[in-house]
């Protein structure tokens, strides 16, 4: 039931590139992303800050635009190899009768706007003004010292339809999951172009909405440095889930919520993929690596709306088990002091 | 309100030494402690296994005795420097009219049994048959490769009374905590003899019961290796809390439940203490390092009973906030897909 | 002076794939690569062992063939995406009048043999029988638990000529170095197809000879676990250089010599590359990240011969500074006890 | 041949406390110790800077005094538990006819000056104005973020005579080493009071001179952060030895030279010691953990003179093998390109 990759794609998408978010308080948001996640500010003008990971030569992987109202995701960016890929993309979308148009975007070369079939607003470009990589400027690193943007996770009603758009563009599927081993319909699909398991991930939910974006970090130590620093600089309650290991076993993770509620993941580097034999791996509740506590309801259900994109109803995914459900279902073990206390105020 | 340390103690207790637990399934318990925690088995006879951390020259820091019925803690062990300290201890307890008696214990030198005023059964000894340290035998290390036993945490109705017994023996208080800054009565007291913040910790609850015992590990990587290995060797659901950082900020931690429900903590090494100016640090809800999610109810309330020791009623401690309470009180942020789903079975 | 990448390559090489070495003692060699480097044996037959990194789904990235005489490198392997790329490769080499022939190789699909202009024997293939990835089977990991093969470093008289063969095939240049800032001729060139800085690296020396091959490891801890384990299992003297950081600043490293003297590097993952703006970075003695001690002469000068490939004379590279030179040139600082000792035998 | 510990010492020394060094350039020295080692400056006045590790509540563990001429060590400091221990110490030294006198020292309580029999100038104190521990202020950490001073290593002609002074004060011997297994006379002795293997270490050489002082760091990552940062802030050539593992296997290490040539070690925490059965461990060339490359001559022979203390001749220790000797003695393995190069200037 999962779509097949087109190995002769119409143009060359190379990787997840950047994300554009709005924030109600640019100063607070910058403090979070630079102090906790460890990004650096490449430029700031007109109420917009452009940030990148310490390893990135790209001008920006995160764009923060100050705006009132509900914080939204304006757009997610994909990188293509060359400008001519954009012309090929335009021709391809025109042929498919998918609306696509060239736009001017600050600090980006030629840029093409288009939406995928589930309504996710994309922007494709090949060039940004190159910046010095700062991964070896250790004296500048803060918090998680995030190295580079890795992937987006999106919630959509129809993950198969969504994924087909990308597999037609040459994306491959690293993993997908169902609930029970015998189920057919995938509830989640992981797509990639660069040589690790994820550039774009879709989960089955009402949508389209942006669930999270992920930055690669150097090791587990810096995940803790991010959390420890967060507490010290005024973001004590930013941790939502983790540290833990993903069910597919590829990688450890920590999920944080930024001051506007946008969700960002930090994760050490995942495995390398891309040989022709790397067939999509099918996961279900029986073969997942699962020592972690389940995710809280907020992680399962809360997300960032795309700007001016209506959310359609959709299924919730089968078999979602929240941390709240899990905790309630846990049997008591050993002696429980809850059975015989006197009230605290009598102590 | 916290007791004062006697700096001229009647005998020389040096550190937390060992703990004796019962298990309903010795094979499963050994598999957990060797494969996940990374202890090694020094000896096994008569249905009793003696384990130690990879760094320990001591014969055992964990004793597992197979027994039916509710798994219990039989005793916790404290090390004194020399055998003559045991004679001084006997004389001291006799003078205090505290029942104490010498007993024969396998793989231990002269051993003295006594209970603290809250009823915790202790055993003091100076000697065990020395074993080779294995900390540099890296090819043998598994799971967390726990280095050495560090401390016990006990729940008792009266933490001040409990602590006084130990401060009279020369234990110092590293930290204690109240709920609100203005509170007087300590809810938890951390006591130490060796030069880090904890050999014995008391929290206010009905008791006495054994909450957990902690092993020092080398770094954060091995906390994850323990959890990852746990999943792979059949202990997927042993994680109870963490990885996280303690509110006092001394150290990161992970709490696991063994197959019998006994709770064990693994933690990288804490800070060094012991100068005369190291006055007890007072913690309250306003000055704690607190990025972690709160502990689940099970961590707050479940514990291991001591063998043949009645549990007395007691206060629960003020201001206990469980993970369940926290999750319920969290405000929704961003778009929530819970508001508009169609049922999963219509997907 | 460095060659230009052909962005419309005649066929699709995807990455460094595998290396075939001879060993005088297969058992010792396997003990080293499994116990110290942490590879796993996929298959062994006819005196040949096939090994892979714990993350690899590929059947083998290291092939060890027992043979008498001087240990040599038989061939290095490159992966292409699909079998049809091999036909395109054959046609391309035929058109270039470069001898290339299809051969049968155990545990590989269609395989094409060809040599680069400096004489390095290559083998191209798209397929191997897929194997389970073992990166999340932590209970099986040993030593460095090497994740995957990353790159080869080769010594050749003419690095520009050598590199041109690869850039014509679509390889890009991440870095190159000269000695003095004003020098023109590159002494070393780093080429890549996958999205990190190195699949094939050339240094200027007599050649062609194989200098080392590199495996990616999870973090710095396992570099030390490899060395610590090496000592314990009988390979105390395998460390040749490091742990240190490469002058380009991309990555830390450790170099070891296997029981036959073949050199293997273990290194945590390097930076991600591949955007069109990622122009080759020029390094010289003035802009290198260089806290490490210089490499010993053995690292500078010793290498593995390719089987049946004559070594041509060539320049040594300018400005090579060995550890031996460095140590000799160091000024004395502080008091030196060498000035006034009595002989040890009078002590 | 090694001295016996007096388990009823005349007063209570608790640990290595601090070291006083002179520097020709206080600004450079502060930049090194704060930026690379990661100490923090507690106070600075009259050309003297007082620094401490991020975990230390002590006012200072390193005192840097600007002075012209050869940089020297003025004194090493030991901590006693209480002021009354100082009076007991004075009485003890008077009875032994060892000159000892109380002095006023800035930022220290009552302080006693005395020299050990080899001439090492000591200062004992119980109190310093307590400071906030900063170990959990991660946003302030730089370089190695050194936690706390751990030990001193001193070179003296007679390590047995030197050690006896300390064992009489209650120091225990964790380890000692000879050259060949059959040798009797120890060449090095490790002494401790706190519960790890080293507060004061003596090696056999002309002396007394100060070889190095060691700071505990959190893990191996920060050893590399120290070196990486060192390069970036102008101390590229500070690395002298390591990273490596000590022959006793207790701990990894890195040795750096400060701008004046004083040697400082950074090391993750060592094992815990102190049970009565922890007999001194005897090391020789046959039972050491030894994967590291040998130390360079500079590490073996260079040291810091004590102020106004004459150096006496002494033996060099048997069996010292330098990195220079080792490299020269290494056999060539594999093909060596040194045999057939053309000169670099013909390339």
Q: Does any CB of chain A come closer than 8 Å to the CB of residue B239?
A: yes
Chains in contact with A, where contact means 3 or more Cβ–Cβ distances below 8 Å, are B, C, D
Alpha helices in chain A (DSSP H): 26-32, 83-95, 159-167, 220-232, 297-301, 323-329
Residue A276 φ then ψ, to 5°: -65, -25
Residue A20 φ then ψ, to 5°: -115, 120
Closest CA to D158 of D224, D216, D203: D203
Inform me whether the pLDDT recorded for A345 exceeds 50: no
Answer for the pair C190, C175: CB distance below 8 angstroms, yes or no: yes
- Find residue D312's DSSP bridge partners: D207
Indicate yes or no: CB of C305 within 8 angstroms of CB of D343. no
Asked whether residue C325 is assigned to any structural domain, the reply reads no
- Find residue D268's DSSP bridge partners: D217
Q: Does any CB of chain A come closer than 8 Å to the CB of residue B234?
A: no
- Give the span between the Cα atoms of C191 and C78, in whole angstroms: 13
Q: Could you count the other beta carbons within 10 Å of the beta carbon of residue D183?
A: 16
Rg, chain B, Cα only: 21
Inform me whether the pLDDT recorded for D342 exceeds 60: no
Q: What is the mean pLDDT of residues C263-281?
A: 96
CB-facing half-sphere around the CA of C315: CA atoms within 13 A:
16
Closest CA to A102 of A93, A90, A91, A117: A90
- Find residue B73's DSSP bridge partners: B21, B306
Between residues A207 and C340, which one has the greater pLDDT? Answer: A207
Residue D224 φ then ψ, to 5°: -75, -35
Mean pLDDT, chain A, rounded, equals 94
Q: What is the pLDDT of residue B288?
A: 86
User: pLDDT tens for residues B266-303?
Assistant: 999 999 999 999 999 999 988 888 899 999 999 999 99
- Give the span between the Cα atoms of C7 and B238, in whole angstroms: 52
CA distances from C207 to C119, C158, C167, C305, D336 (A): 9, 9, 20, 8, 10
Q: Does any CB of chain C come closer than 8 Å to the CB of residue B236?
A: no
Indicate yes or no: CB of A228 within 8 angstroms of CB of D136. yes
Which of B128, B175, B275, B291 to mutate against chain D (most D CBs within 10 Å)?
B275
Helix (H, G, I), strand (E, B) or coil at C318: coil
User: pLDDT tens for residues A25-73?
Assistant: 999 999 999 999 999 999 999 999 999 999 999 999 999 999 999 999 9
CA distances from B225 to A291, C138, C215 (A): 11, 7, 21
Band (D339; pLDDT cuts 50, 70, 90): low
- Give the span between the Cα atoms of B299 and A327, in whole angstroms: 11
Q: How far is CA B234 from the centre of its chain?
A: 24
CA distances from D176 to A196, B131, D202, D214 (A): 51, 19, 9, 18
Q: Which of A81-90, A176-185, B223-232, D259-268 has the lowest mean pLDDT?
A: A176-185
Q: What is the mean pLDDT of residues C120-136?
A: 97
Residues of A with Cβ-Cβ distance to D230 under 8 angstroms: none
- Give the span between the Cα atoms of D34 and D140, in whole angstroms: 11
Share of chain C above pLDDT 70, in %: 97
How far away is chain A from the Cα of B7, in angstroms, using its nearest Cα?
Answer: 31
Indicate yes or no: CB of A224 within 8 angstroms of CB of B231. no
- Give the span between the Cα atoms of B219 and B269, in whole angstroms: 8
How far away is chain B from the Cα of D82, in angstroms, using its nearest Cα?
Answer: 6
Nearest CA in chain C to B139: C229
- Cβ within 8 Å of residue B192, ≥6 positions away: B171, B172, B173, B174, B198, B199, B200, B273
Alpha helices in C177-308 (DSSP H): 220-232, 297-301
Q: Which of A334-343, B261-270, D79-88 has the lowest mean pLDDT?
A: A334-343
User: pLDDT tens for residues A69-121?
Assistant: 999 999 999 999 999 999 999 999 999 999 999 999 999 999 999 999 999 99
CATH value at residue A221: 3.10.180.10
Residue A227 φ then ψ, to 5°: -70, -45
Inform me whether the pLDDT recorded for D319 exceeds 90: no
User: C115-148 in b/e burial notation, b at 16+ Cβ within 10 A?
Assistant: bbebbbbbbbbbbbeebebbbbbbeebbbbbbbb
Closest CA to A56 of A26, A12, A15: A15
Q: Does any CB of chain B come closer than 8 Å to the CB of residue D272?
A: yes
Answer for the pair D10, D71: CB distance below 8 angstroms, yes or no: no
Residue D226 φ then ψ, to 5°: -60, -45
Band (B340; pLDDT cuts 50, 70, 90): low
Q: What is the pLDDT of residue B346?
A: 43
Residue corresponding to tokens 């521990």: D133
Asked whether residue D340 is assigned to any structural domain, the reply reads no
> Is the pTM of the predicted complex or chain greater than 0.80?
yes
C185, two tokens: 């001729």
Indicate yes or no: CB of A274 within 8 angstroms of CB of C14. yes
Share of chain C above pLDDT 90, in %: 88
Rg, chain D, Cα only: 21
The alpha carbon torsion through B168, B173, B176, B181 (nearest 10 deg) reads 100
How many structural domains are present in chain B? Answer: 1
- H or E segment to which residue A81 belongs: none
Q: What is the mean pLDDT of residues D235-242?
A: 95
Q: What is the pLDDT of residue A313?
A: 87
Alpha helices in chain B (DSSP H): 26-32, 83-95, 159-167, 220-232, 297-301, 323-329
Q: Which of B44-48, B341-345, C47-51, D148-152 has the lowest mean pLDDT?
A: B341-345
Closest CA to B274 of D165, D264, D274, D64: D274
Q: How far is CA C171 from the centre of its chain?
A: 16
Residue-level length of chain B: 347
A149, two tokens: 């943007």
Closest CA to A38 of A225, A219, A213, A220: A225
Q: What is the pLDDT of residue A27?
A: 98
Band (D340; pLDDT cuts 50, 70, 90): low
Asked whether residue B206 is assigned to any structural domain, the reply reads yes
Question: Which residues between 56 and 85 in chain B have a beta carbon less than 8 angstroms from any beta carbon of chain D?
Answer: 57-58, 79, 81-82
Residue-level length of chain A: 347
User: pLDDT tens for residues A225-240?
Assistant: 999 999 999 999 999 9
Band (D169; pLDDT cuts 50, 70, 90): very high
Residues of A with Cβ-Cβ distance to C15 under 8 angstroms: 195, 274
Q: What is the pLDDT of residue A341?
A: 53
- Cβ within 8 Å of residue C177, ≥6 positions away: C186, C187, C188, C247, C248, C282, C283, C284, C288
How far away is chain A from the Cα of B150, in angstroms, using its nearest Cα?
Answer: 22
C282, two tokens: 């020029």
Q: What is the mean pLDDT of residues D260-273?
A: 97
Helix (H, G, I), strand (E, B) or coil at C346: helix
Q: What is the pLDDT of residue D345?
A: 45
Inform me whether the pLDDT recorded for D341 exceeds 80: no
The alpha carbon torsion through C54, C59, C63, C66 (nearest 10 deg) reads 110
Q: Which of A220-224, C8-12, C181-185, D169-173 has the lowest mean pLDDT?
A: C181-185
Q: What is the pLDDT of residue C53?
A: 98
How far away is chain D from the Cα of A77, in angstroms, using its nearest Cα?
Answer: 31
- Give the span between the Cα atoms of B37 and A300, in whole angstroms: 31
Which of C157, C285, C292, C335 to mutate against chain D (most D CBs within 10 Å)?
C335
Band (C345; pLDDT cuts 50, 70, 90): very low
Residue corresponding to tokens 């009489």: D168
Inform me whether the pLDDT recorded for B342 exceeds 60: no
Between residues C317 and B333, which one has the greater pLDDT? Answer: B333
Mean pLDDT, chain B, rounded, equals 94
Inform me whether the pLDDT recorded for D237 exceeds 80: yes
Asked whether residue C243 is assigned to any structural domain, the reply reads yes
Indicate yes or no: CB of B128 within 8 angstroms of CB of D277. yes
- Give the span between the Cα atoms of B187 and B116, in whole angstroms: 18
- Give the span between the Cα atoms of A242 and A293, in whole angstroms: 8
Crossing angle (nearest 10°) for helices B220-232 and A220-232: 120
Nearest CA in chain C to B137: C232
How far away is chain D from the Cα of C343, in angstroms, using its nearest Cα?
Answer: 6
Between residues D114 and C319, which one has the greater pLDDT? Answer: D114
Inform me whether the pLDDT recorded for B319 exceeds 80: no
Asked whether residue D128 is assigned to any structural domain, the reply reads yes
Q: Which of A210-219, B334-343, D111-120 has the lowest mean pLDDT?
A: B334-343
Q: Roughly how many angstroms between the first and final C-alpha of chain D, as a whole number?
A: 62
Asked whether residue A322 is assigned to any structural domain, the reply reads no
Q: Does any CB of chain C come closer than 8 Å to the CB of residue A249?
A: yes
Strands (E), D24-82: 40-45, 48-52, 62-66, 73-80
Answer for the pair D252, D223: CB distance below 8 angstroms, yes or no: yes
D207, two tokens: 């002396």
> DSSP characters for B83-123?
HHHHHHHHHHHHHTT--EEEE--TT-SSEEEEE-TT--EEE
Chains in contact with B, where contact means 3 or more Cβ–Cβ distances below 8 Å, are A, C, D
Asked whether residue B342 is assigned to any structural domain, the reply reads no
Candidates D218, D268, D275; nearest CB to B57: D275
Helix (H, G, I), strand (E, B) or coil at A47: coil
Asked whether residue C210 is assigned to any structural domain, the reply reads yes
Q: What is the pLDDT of residue C285?
A: 87
**Domain span at B259:** 13-305
Inform me whether the pLDDT recorded for B163 exceeds 80: yes
Inform me whether the pLDDT recorded for B344 exceeds 70: no
Nearest CA in chain D to C343: D315
Sign of the alpha-carbon torsion through D55, D56, D59, D64: negative
User: pLDDT tens for residues A158-198?
Assistant: 999 999 999 999 999 999 999 999 998 999 999 999 999 99
Closest CA to D167 of D200, D195, D196: D200
Size of interface A-D (CB pairs under 8 A): 27
Inform me whether the pLDDT recorded for C219 exceeds 70: yes
- Give the span between the Cα atoms of D177 and A191, in whole angstroms: 59
Strands (E), chain A: 13-23, 40-45, 48-52, 62-66, 73-80, 100-103, 111-115, 121-125, 148-156, 172-177, 188-192, 200-204, 209-217, 239-245, 252-257, 263-268, 281-283, 302-305, 335-336
D168, two tokens: 């009489």
Q: What is the pLDDT of residue C286?
A: 86
């Amino acid at each position: 039931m999962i779509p097949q990759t087109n190995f002769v794609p119409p143009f060359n998408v190379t990787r997840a590139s950047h994300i554009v978010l709005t924030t109600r308080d640019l100063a607070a948001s910058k403090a979070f992303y630079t102090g906790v996640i460890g990004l650096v500010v490449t430029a700031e003008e007109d109420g917009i800050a452009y940030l990148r990971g310490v390893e990135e030569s790209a001008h920006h992987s995160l764009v923060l635009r100050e705006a009132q109202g509900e914080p939204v995701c304006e757009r997610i960016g994909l990188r293509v190899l060359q400008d001519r890929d954009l012309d090929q993309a335009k021709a391809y979308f025109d042929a498919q009768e998918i609306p696509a148009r060239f736009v001017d975007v600050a600090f980006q070369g030629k840029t093409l706007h288009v939406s995928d079939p589930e309504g996710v607003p994309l922007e494709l470009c090949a060039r940004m003004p190159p910046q010095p990589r700062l991964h070896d400027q250790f004296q500048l690193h803060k918090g998680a010292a995030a190295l580079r943007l890795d992937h987006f996770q999106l919630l959509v009603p129809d993950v198969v339809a969504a994924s087909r758009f990308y597999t037609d563009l040459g994306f491959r599927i690293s993993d997908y999951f169902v609930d029970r081993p015998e189920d057919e319909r995938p509830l989640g699909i992981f797509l990639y172009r660069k040589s690790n398991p994820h550039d774009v991930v879709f989960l089955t939910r009402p949508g389209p909405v942006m669930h999270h974006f992920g930055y690669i970090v150097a090791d587990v130590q810096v995940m803790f440095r991010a959390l420890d620093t967060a507490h010290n600089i005024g973001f004590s309650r930013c941790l939502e889930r983790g540290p833990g290991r993903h069910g597919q076993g590829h990688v450890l993770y920590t999920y944080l919520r930024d001051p506007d509620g946008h969700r960002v993941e930090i994760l050490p580097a995942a495995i390398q993929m891309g040989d022709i034999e790397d067939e999509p791996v099918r996961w279900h509740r029986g073969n997942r690596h699962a020592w972690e506590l389940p995710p809280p309801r907020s992680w399962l259900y809360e997300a960032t709306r795309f700007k001016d994109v209506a959310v359609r109803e959709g299924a919730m995914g089968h078999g979602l088990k929240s941390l709240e459900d899990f905790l309630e279902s846990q049997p008591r073990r050993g002696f429980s002091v809850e059975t015989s206390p006197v009230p605290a105020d009598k102590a």
